[in-house]
Amino acid sequence: MFERSRPAGDRPSWAAARLTWKEPVSHPMSADPTSRRDIPDATVARLPEYLRALSDAADRGVLSVSSEELATAAGVRPTQLRKDLSHLGSYGIRGVGYDVEHLALEISRALGLTQDWPVAIVGMGNLGRALAAYSGFATGGFHVAALFDEDAALVGTRIGDVLVEPMADLPRLVADRGVSIGVIATPAGSAQQVCDTLVRAGVRSVLNFAPLVLSVPGDVDVRRVDLSTELHVLAFHEQRKQLAAGQGQDVGHGVGVGR
């Protein structure tokens, strides 16, 4: 089982805090972020889940985990986990497992979470307000640097500790506050224009909640989150299950935890 020892609750803050892990002397090569390139996209997509599972383990005072324990907590197979981690380096101890704090640091470093990322959110509707108040921003390398809305009635109000600013001030504030990640929580109709404004202001990473595909220059990354898409995929599988049940015939889908 998990090896626990440190009292639960004193969670090490990997992001932002400079870590105290000492590299064993027998491993003279220290990993800087530039030495390990070519991490597959599929692996990058799973690293945040590993980090979250490690954070949970640390909260419970766990010091060391095996690939099997960590994989279970992350909803993947142990071999998948080990292959993924092998792309970062050799941070495990053979015959033992992984040091929770050390592995969390290395994943944080790989993901770029050892620095703090200022995020701007545009669109203060229901979703935008929920995002602005989201506690997940505080933990792990992100903070809400600015909020924007085109509605004059909303400008000047506060959401949490942050003032809602007019769109006209976006270029200046994005530059002044070093915003590098923009979140679009506007209706679909204004999303492309908002995106263009963000890109012109220097933002090259965009998280898009509006239901459309944004056009951006090749050096800009866009990730989209869409509730409708998720529901549609669930409906597809649900339909399969209901058909199979109705016909008393097993389609053999069998999706378990994860995936």
Residues annotated as binding site for NAD(+)? 123-128
Q: What region does 140 belong to: left with phi over 0, alpha with psi -120 to 50, or beta? A: left
User: Which of 206, 47, 56 is CA-nearest to residue 111?
Assistant: 47
If 0-12 CB within 10 Å is exposed, 13-18 middle and 19+ buried, where does residue 223 land? exposed
CB under 7 A: which stretch of 15-23, 34-42, 137-145, 163-171 binds DNA? 34-42
Contact pick of 60, 77, 177, 204 for DNA (by CB under 7 A): 77
User: Which of 105, 98, 83 is CA-nearest to residue 39?
Assistant: 83
Q: Which does 254 bind (CB under 5 to 8 A by kind): DNA, a copy of itself, none?
A: a copy of itself
Q: What is the rounded CA–CA span in Å between residue 228 and residue 248? A: 30
Should residue 142 be labelled a site residue for a copy of itself when binding is judged by CB under 8 A?
Answer: yes
Cα of first residue to Cα of last residue in the chain, in angstroms, is: 25
Q: To 10 degrees, what angle do helices 100-111 and 41-59 make?
A: 140
CB under 7 A: which stretch of 63-71, 111-119, 154-162, 188-196 binds DNA? 63-71
Shortest distance (Å) from residue 182 CB to DNA: 25
Question: What part of residues 58-97 is at the interface with a copy of itself (CB under 8 A)?
Answer: 73-75
Contact pick of 100, 140, 154, 184 for a copy of itself (by CB under 8 A): 140
User: Is the Cβ–Cβ distance between 116 and 95 less than 8 Å?
Assistant: no
Contact pick of 48, 61, 89, 166 for a copy of itself (by CB under 8 A): 48
Contact pick of 129, 148, 184, 198 for a copy of itself (by CB under 8 A): 129
Q: What is the rounded CA–CA span in Å between residue 149 and residue 186? A: 9
Question: What part of residues 82-111 is at the interface with DNA (CB under 7 A)?
Answer: 82-83, 85-86, 90-98
User: Which of 117, 104, 135 is CA-nearest to residue 206?
Assistant: 117
Q: What is the DSSP letter of 170?
A: H
Q: Which does 126 bind (CB under 5 to 8 A by kind): a copy of itself, DNA, none?
A: a copy of itself
Contact pick of 25, 161, 223, 248 for a copy of itself (by CB under 8 A): 223
Q: What is the rounded CA–CA span in Å between residue 20 and residue 14? A: 10
Minimum CB distance to DNA smaller for 40 or for 178: 40
Shortest distance (Å) from residue 116 CB to a copy of itself: 10
Contact pick of 33, 40, 156, 202 for a copy of itself (by CB under 8 A): 33
Minimum CB distance to a copy of itself smaller for 24 or for 217: 217
Q: What is the rounded CA–CA span in Å between residue 215 and residue 197? A: 12
Q: Which does 26 bind (CB under 5 to 8 A by kind): DNA, a copy of itself, none?
A: DNA
